[in-house]
Amino acid sequence: MKYLEKAFIAAHLVVIALFFLCAVALMVLAATDLWQGIFSTATQDIRGRFDSILEGIGMLTIGLVALGLSQTIFEEEILRDVKVSGPTRVRRYLSRFLVVIVVALAIETLVAAFEIMHRDPTQLPYVAAIGGSAALLLLAWGAFVHLNRSAEELEPEAMEKAKEEDRDVG
């Protein structure tokens, strides 16, 4: 059983490393787009430069998601060795994950709206669907947290243990 546990830790470390590498690669690509958007005056008009900078923002957003996911997995699965079984753990784990996703979707909605607005305004309903999805996720997350609080009151020792772990890790 100990070998299986070590295999899961190793698998988590591989996933963490891959998410981290993806985040770094996206940051490099975003920096390249930003550089082209700012300094390539001879080859691009102002609209092309603006699009390059927006593309950079989009890539940074996705890179932020990858980085946030790698950090969440590292802290929850490796540092804390969390077994997501109690309501407190589930709420905290999902909250860390969803905050990254909701923020990324909101930023992507803004970037897409700016890009699509000038290229093909008929595509704006799809952008609105992405923003609406982010809003629905935020509402569902809020409902989950609200409903989960009553379950947490049944096990106050789990909340205290989670706070103690936060002090140890932080």
Sketch the domain layout of the chain as residue ranges: 1-81, 84-170
Structure confidence at residue 37 as a pLDDT band (50, 70, 90): confident
Identify the CA nearest to 31 among candidates 51, 60, 11.
60
The Cα-based distances of 1 to 4, 5, 50, 79 in angstroms read 5, 6, 55, 20
pLDDT digit string (tens) for 129-152? 999 999 999 999 888 888 877 766
Structure confidence at residue 87 as a pLDDT band (50, 70, 90): low
Q: What is the mean pLDDT of residues 2-7?
A: 87
Identify the CA nearest to 73 among candidates 19, 5, 1.
19
What's the pTM? 0.71
pLDDT, averaged across the chain:
83
Predicted confidence at residue 24, as pLDDT, reads 96
Angstrom distance (rounded) from CA 49 to CA 132: 29
